[in-house]
Structure 1
């Protein structure tokens, strides 16, 4: 069964070079005494900090640096671009009126990366 995700969860982007820590938007809902996440906690920097360096050739700064290096892939600082919500989220539990975020949800970055939950931040509350 999926595990409810909260502030402090560890995430990884397949195009990033370092893990990052999720920060749920404050709500009046806690899971294991930490702010609970929902699928709309997808804002770059506010909820989704950078993942170190980005390796995606779709990222304009990486593409420019790679062109300047005569075709040698040149990673550049990560700037998450996450316009869509996490998917799929919980089918039965709402947090602040939106589906709860669980450890099986993923988040797409416009630069081609997919962000996954590596550690949900707590392990006692499971959600369907």
Structure 2
């Protein structure tokens, strides 16, 4: 369509005509959509009016019974939610002093999902047949398995993702309106700001150079303090790593 208009009216005028025609088409589609929405809303209104009418015709006893049933259901849901929260809090509290074993689940403050702590070779101590770990089991990829996706602004992979977004925006072909606006005013500057980087994600490549903190010093596993659920680990990109499970079978 744009090429036909350009042949008839010239490049600038032809493009403008094309944009105008496109605007009309978009408006028509929008109106059609509004008509469909209105029709759907009409159905909802009819249903809601019917429900309201039924409610008005119920006796006080029926209304009281309905309210009592709803209150009971709400109370049950609330009680179940509270019980779940309390149970999780109790589990986490118990985890703090639990010994950590192979395949314990770990979490990172900058990760999109959980990962696992593993040991390639047993240190010689087992709990229910599962290798027990020590504070030295903190090496990236060997012990600390990749979390997959990282959202730390300090991660070069995340920064690269932000740069790509900016580059894609700059390379995106401009519309006729944008070109006209650029002619009369200075184009807005596209920059890699903190807010943009914080919305991006990259590949997790943990940078860990220390042992786990706060191990059980009076229990040594292969010469190092035993690892406990309260232990923490710091990634060089700012991520704080902690345990979600101990890895023991009873969990």
- Asked which structure has the greater CA Rg, the reply is 2
Deviation track 1:27-69 (CA, whole Å, cap 9, x = no partner) reads: 1111221111100001111100111210000111112222332
Aligned Cα root-mean-square deviation (Å): 1.5
Bigger RCO of structures 1 and 2 (CA < 8 A, at least 6 apart): 1
Which of the two has greater strand per residue? 1
Query: Does residue 9 in structure 1 map to residue 9 in structure 2?
Result: no
Residue matched to 2:158:
62
Of residues 44-53 and 19-28 in structure 1, the stretch that sits farther from structure 2 once superposed is 19-28
TM-score w.r.t. structure 2 length? 0.47
1:95 and 1:8 mapped to 2: Cα distance?
17
2:107 and 2:148 mapped to 1: Cα distance?
10
2:155 and 2:100 mapped to 1: Cα distance?
28
Query: Does residue 74 in structure 1 map to residue 170 in structure 2?
Result: no
The number of residues matched between the two structures is: 124
Which of the two has greater helix per residue? 2
Query: Does residue 37 in structure 1 map to residue 163 in structure 2?
Result: no
TM-score w.r.t. structure 1 length? 0.89
Deviation track 1:94-125 (CA, whole Å, cap 9, x = no partner) reads: 1000010010001100010011000001177x
User: Do 1:3 and 1:123's aligned partners in 2 also have CA atoms closer than 8 Å?
Assistant: no
